[in-house]
Structure 1
Amino acid sequence: MRVFLFVLLLLPALSFGQAAKKADNQITIGNKDTFHSAILKEDREIWVYVPKSGWAGSKARFPVMYLLDGEAFFTSMVGTVDYLSTVVGKMPEMIIVGIRNTDRTRDLTPTHYPFWSDGRATNDLKTSGGGPKFMAFLEKELMPYVEKRYSTQPYRMFVGHSLGGLTVLSALVNQPTLFNSYVALDPSLWWDKLLIMRQAEKVLTQKDNVGESLFMATANTMAKDMDTVRVLQDKANDNHSVREALQFRETLRKSRNLSWTWKFYPEENHGSVPLPAQQDALRFLFKKYEMAKELDDTTITVAYVKDHYKAVSAMMQYPVLPSAGAVNALGYIALENKRYDQAYQFFKLNLDNYPADGNLHDSMGDYYVAIGDKKNAMEAFRKALSLEEVAETRRKLKSLEAGQ
């Protein structure tokens, strides 16, 4: 591990020490894939992020997030997921598939409706109504493409903003078997005279929604003199988004066994709400993923970690490995407190689960240095360097070799 002295405030260093750094000194967070869609009759580009523990021949498999408006949200979502999963262990690592737009209005609207929320006709929406074809593309082309080329688990999440949020809710209501969880960020509920609200009232309140989860965010788009109580009696079109969101919340309250939450963001507008809401969504959807004990709790053992992730596996419906970042942090806490046997057990657990991660071999090298075992320390550092060349690991190895 690059940082020997463990400080809780420096947690990011514990798993970001070996970023995806290339020989040309560029940092890469994903791949661009392009393939032809026979359904949409056009080439489509996706941006794909694969967690670091899935590189270098790893056998790890991951749940998948399908992210609409990929060109707008891919970078921020990758950073959020990477931090919450690998650094603080609050959610599983995920593959993120950012779907770039070609004709956003066409793909993210369920019906042809060339009118704004106030009923005014507009040519801006003349291509609307391609949502069913787009969803067929997702189900029959994109998902098989991703699942064939990447190491996926059966868990799928669907995330969208605005018209993308409308598409997410349409999938929840009309195609519930495609995804396990849904994130609708300030969705365009107004579309086609509140079509999605009528559909949701009919479907969500009558069918059993066990195993499905929804996070819905609502931005503050009301007039400055309006509040969330009076807006329900208001008729002004300028305040329609919040009013409709509050009405949709009442439908969610009547849903059967749907795990959901709704959150209002009084300081955010329609454009700014996705950034804070995406973290809140992930924290809600994976609230049972995080260990109940704080990482510096000295009663945490390897057995406790294994038992927790056994329960998480049941929740996710596939085997979930312990977070490499969290377990590495536990190893360094034990090392700092000279609980050497416990430190070794945590570092060994990580290597058993992620043998192709050079950072974890580096951490084991730090353990051997701490107990004075230079031979095994050098072996661990050499293994780390064989997987990825990192200057700090090279420096530590040279220091040990010089002292032989």
Structure 2
Amino acid sequence: MMTKYKINCLIVFISILFLHSGQKPCFAQKDGDDIVIGKYSIIHSSILDEDRLLYIHLPRDYEDTQLSYPVLYLLYVDIYNYFADATITTEKLGGTGEIPPVIIIGVANTNRYRDLLPAKIRGRNEGGGADNFLRFFEEELIPHIDKFYRTKNFRMLVGPQAGAVFSLYALITKPELFNAVLSENPFMNPENADFLYPRAEQFFKNKESLKNFLYIKCERNERPQNLEFAEKLSKLLESEKPEGFRFKAEFKEPSGYFIPPIPFGEGLRMLFAEHKLPENFHTNSVKDVISYYEALSEEYAFEVDAPSHMLTFEGDKLSQQGKTKEAIELFEFQLSLYPKSLNALMRLGEIYRRMGELQKARQYYKTFLTIRDTDVAMIHNRLNMVERMISSSAACRIEQEIRKNGIQAGLRKYQMMRSDPNNELYFDESEFNAMGYRLMGAGKTDDAIEIFKLNVKLYPESANVYDSLAEAYMNSGDTENAIINYRKSLELNPDNNNAKEMLKKLKKK
């Protein structure tokens, strides 16, 4: 049975809006629609002999990819807005590439002390059911989630108070079950402190290596036994830390909250400290990015997918450096992971349009608009322009002919078009100019000169066409014709500072 999980808390509503405030609204939603961050699900446990309510949040791009995701299991989910806290924090950190996107599985309480504490509380007949609850995770809940969702073999367990005690107990009892544990203000009554610490001491002293992560946060105004246990465990791990085990304990000043917020941000950033590419990372090609995340996968012991946000950023850097081929490869790799990445689709459309490969540009623009067609006037305009060029541009036809059969065939095509009284194709100065620069950029300077000469014939009163022709002559080593055409450009536009500077340089030769 599935129903939507709605957040009615004003603070959460404002927080979600804040997270998306940098994006222009596309208004696919209707006035009055709910902001949905998850759904309920019910699982029956034979081990616990009861139904358990689950709170489930899937990453924002879950339905748009075929990727699998790490799973964060959250205790105490049905109180203190912990589910909302977890959702907002993981979406924010995942969106910036600081952590991988995660599936959140919140497990609601029924009798929390019974399930979460390994030892009974004296005089209260509570606790002692942690082993049973751990069996529920191992034999029922985790297999259930792995069956119905695309999960990676990397699991995190997060919990406050009694949930923190259970998470620590799970670490020393079934270390293979959870790769990482985030524990906040462990609720350590004397019975559970006396039960847990000697077992933790024995476990860590006898463990030579351990590929797990533990983060503990404890506020200094906590109950003395809670703080004492956390400090004692921290000292133990400093002296007995197994090889490969990552551990961090933080003792914070009081937050002022009766129930402090779970340290999602701090702990997850430490756990995935290297997930985001370093600021000084130098990308020469998509292979560099792939190699980085392959190495990270080895370190984290699960397949780490390069974040879409980072791929966009690195692709833009390559494009700005003039490494067009490498940028295309990187954006295409991005689409292989994230087929509905609007960033990659838009950039590939723009790159191919600038390259004059209009059929490819059109396809990327069209794909973009099948995903999002509102509030994207620029993409609509680009598509209209490209389709107009494909159907009616003389420059487009000539460039296609040059690519197939060479410059002379392209020039003949031009003459045929100009002499045909029924020709309805348009001749655009900027399109011919762009074609000339593409040829020059490809090292075909002589071909570029021929195209710029055509543009001079078409637009003899344009200062820019002479400036471009002069540049091509200069690049070919023909100083005399470069000077002639820069002078002509300056004659038509006395404010052409580029022509002035170039003439000074050429006259010095």
Q: Fold-level match, TM-score > 0.5?
A: yes
- Aligned position for 1:344: 328
Which among 357, 374, 378 is matched to residue 391 of structure 1? 374
Q: Cα offset for 1:181? A: 1.1
- Aligned position for 1:261: 248
- Distance in 1 between residues matched to 2:26 and 2:130, nearest whole Å: 38
Q: Cα offset for 1:40? A: 1.8
Q: Cα offset for 1:332? A: 3.3
- Distance in 2 between residues matched to 1:19 and 1:68, nearest whole Å: 35
- Counterpart contact for 1:180–1:212, Cα < 8 Å: yes
Which among 227, 238, 250 is matched to residue 235 of structure 2? 250
Question: What residue identity is the alignment partner of 1:346?
Answer: L
- Distance in 2 between residues matched to 1:19 and 1:311, nearest whole Å: 38
CA-to-aligned-CA distance 1:107-132 (integer Å, 9 cap, x gap) = 22222215xxxxxx5xxx54433322
Question: What residue identity is the alignment partner of 1:218?
Answer: C
Larger relative contact order (Cα-Cα within 8 Å, sequence gap ≥ 6) = 1
- Distance in 2 between residues matched to 1:17 and 1:31, nearest whole Å: 26
Question: What residue identity is the alignment partner of 1:83?
Answer: K
- Distance in 2 between residues matched to 1:317 and 1:113, nearest whole Å: 38
SS of the aligned residue for 1:221 comes to: coil
Structure number with bigger Rg: 2
- Counterpart contact for 1:80–1:279, Cα < 8 Å: yes
CA-to-aligned-CA distance 1:109-168 (integer Å, 9 cap, x gap) = 222215xxxxxx5xxx54433322221111111111100000011111111111111010
Q: How does 1:319-334 map to 2 (within 5 A)?
A: 319-334=303-318
Which among 91, 95, 98 is matched to residue 86 of structure 1? 95
Q: Answer yes or no: is 1:365 the counterpart of 2:364.
A: no
CA-to-aligned-CA distance 1:232-274 (integer Å, 9 cap, x gap) = xxxxxx5333222211111212232332111111242575643
Which among 257, 261, 268 is matched to residue 282 of structure 1? 268
- Distance in 1 between residues matched to 2:314 and 2:26, nearest whole Å: 21
> Sequence identity of aligned pairs in percent?
24
Q: Answer yes or no: is 1:65 the counterpart of 2:47.
A: no
Question: What residue identity is the alignment partner of 1:65?
Answer: L
CA-to-aligned-CA distance 1:347-380 (integer Å, 9 cap, x gap) = 1220122224455424433444565665534422
- Distance in 2 between residues matched to 1:191 and 1:270, nearest whole Å: 24
Q: How does 1:147-162 map to 2 (within 5 A)?
A: 147-162=146-161
> TM-score w.r.t. structure 1 length?
0.79
Which among 46, 58, 63 is matched to residue 55 of structure 1? 63
> TM-score w.r.t. structure 2 length?
0.64
Which among 73, 77, 84 is matched to residue 86 of structure 2? 77
Number of aligned residues: 362
Question: What residue identity is the alignment partner of 1:215?
Answer: Y
- Distance in 2 between residues matched to 1:367 and 1:14, nearest whole Å: 28
Q: Cα offset for 1:53? A: 3.4
Give RMSD over aligned pairs. Answer: 3.0
Structure 2: runs of 5 or more not aligned: 1-18, 389-509
- Distance in 1 between residues matched to 2:201 and 2:66, nearest whole Å: 43
Q: 1:40/1:22 Cα in 2 relative to 1: closer, same or farther (>3 Å)?
A: farther
Q: Answer yes or no: is 1:198 the counterpart of 2:206.
A: no
- Distance in 2 between residues matched to 1:85 and 1:193, nearest whole Å: 36
Q: 1:335/1:191 Cα in 2 relative to 1: closer, same or farther (>3 Å)?
A: farther
Q: 1:320/1:256 Cα in 2 relative to 1: closer, same or farther (>3 Å)?
A: closer
Question: What residue identity is the alignment partner of 2:338?
Answer: Y
Q: 1:177/1:32 Cα in 2 relative to 1: closer, same or farther (>3 Å)?
A: same
